[in-house]
Amino acid sequence: MAVDIAGYNDPKRTTAHRLVVHDGFWKLMRTAFAEVGIPWDVLFMENTGDGALIQLPPEVAKADLVAQLPDRMLAELRRHNEVHADGAKMQLRVSLHAGEVYQGSHGTVSDANSFACRLLEEPAAKKALKDSGAAIVLIVSDGFYRDVVRADPAADPGSYFRIPVSVKETKSEAWLRLLGVVTNGFPVRATRPSTPAELSTLVDALLAVPCVRKADSRRLLLDLFSRREIADVVPYHAEDRLHVIALAKTCQRFTGGLGDLLDAIRTIEPESPQVAALATIIGQWPDR
């Protein structure tokens, strides 16, 4: 786990501000871990100056780190920010990854540590935090998302979206979640949201495609969907139209989600007038 205080060295902060931020950060971390039930003394902690690098022993459940700890950190961060001047307020970047850590003569040696730190430096994560005004941006590695986040509904896997990672020699993918923003964890989109009429048009076009309209083939469609982070969080409804509405709205929450839905439909049903009409609507959709 790597944590960074965004803008810690901003010239607008005075030394007095940084002292308050420093003390507030460590109080926040101790309190959040305690409230989740993770003893502070089982953690191996490295102070990075503007944050921390934390190694957690294998007996700490990874699910707790995404299902409980971020919300406790958010609560403590809000308490801190409420009673301090702007120069002493905090925003945090937090990354999670899993891997081997070795003890060297003067600290730890670990590719996993390095990767966790690289996640914090990904420009897309920094931009998401700045543009949204969120309190915390949580970035988890692709493997951590697939093995831990997606497996636990309490971790709210649908609130994450995928980002590329390109920092120094590291090229990979990760998953990002925003906490403490008015959109309730979803990234702020530059495009406007769809209107009820636009959503109705999209749903009508989806229902016109036989493999979407029929419940049996719709189940197959979800099984074939390449992005499990979307298919696995579509709410089920027995009534066809309600289920398709849920499918459409879930895909809209993910960048490129409607385009991926169209690709899955074409896997089952070759090009037809109904699919062509749907493709036209999706092609004109904001941030499809």
The 10s digit of each residue's pLDDT in 16-43 is 999 999 999 999 999 999 998 898 988 9
> What's 267's DSSP letter?
H
| Residue 191: inside a domain | no
CA 146 to CA 229: how far, in whole Å?
8
Q: How far is CA 226 from CA 183, 222, 223, 256, 274, in A?
A: 26, 9, 8, 12, 22
Residue 113 sits in the same domain as residue 204: no
Residue 101: CATH number of its domain = 3.30.70.1230
**Number of structural domains, the chain?**
2
Residue 117 sits in the same domain as residue 239: no
Residue 73 sits in the same domain as residue 148: yes
CA 57 to CA 35: how far, in whole Å?
18
Q: At 56, list the tokens.
A: 């957690």
Residue 203 sits in the same domain as residue 149: no
Q: At 159, list the tokens.
A: 């609130």
| Residue 184: inside a domain | no
- In percent, how much of the chain has pLDDT > 70? 94
Determine the pLDDT at residue 185: 41
Query: Among 63-72, 95-104, 116-125, which is the least confidently predicted range?
Result: 95-104
For residue 226, what are the domain limits?
A: 196-283
| Residue 215: inside a domain | yes
Q: Which residues contact 33 (CB under 8 A, 6 or more apart)?
A: 39, 40, 43, 69
Among the candidates 147, 179, 211, a domain finishes at: 179
N- to C-terminal Cα separation, the chain: 33
**Of the ranges 69-73, 178-182, 252-256, 283-287, which is most confident?**
69-73
Determine the pLDDT at residue 286: 59
Averaged over 7-18, what is the pLDDT? 93
Residue 237 sits in the same domain as residue 173: no
Burial of 236 (0-12, 13-18, 19+ CB in 10 A): exposed
pLDDT tens digits, residue range 118-176? 999 999 899 888 888 899 999 999 999 989 998 888 888 888 888 888 888 878 889 99
Which of 201, 221, 224 has the alpha carbon at shortest distance from 210? 221
- SS3 annotation, 194-261: CCHHHHHHHHHHHHCCHHHHCHHHHHHHHHHCCCHHHHCCCCCCCCHHHHHHHHHHHHHCCCCHHHHH
Residue 55 sits in the same domain as residue 163: yes
Residue 166 sits in the same domain as residue 234: no
The single residue listed with the structure tokens 């309730």 is: 184
CA 178 to CA 171: how far, in whole Å?
22
Residue 51 sits in the same domain as residue 97: yes
The answer on pLDDT for 95 being more than 90 is yes
Amino acid in position 35 = E
CA 146 to CA 128: how far, in whole Å?
22
Among the candidates 179, 205, 240, a domain finishes at: 179
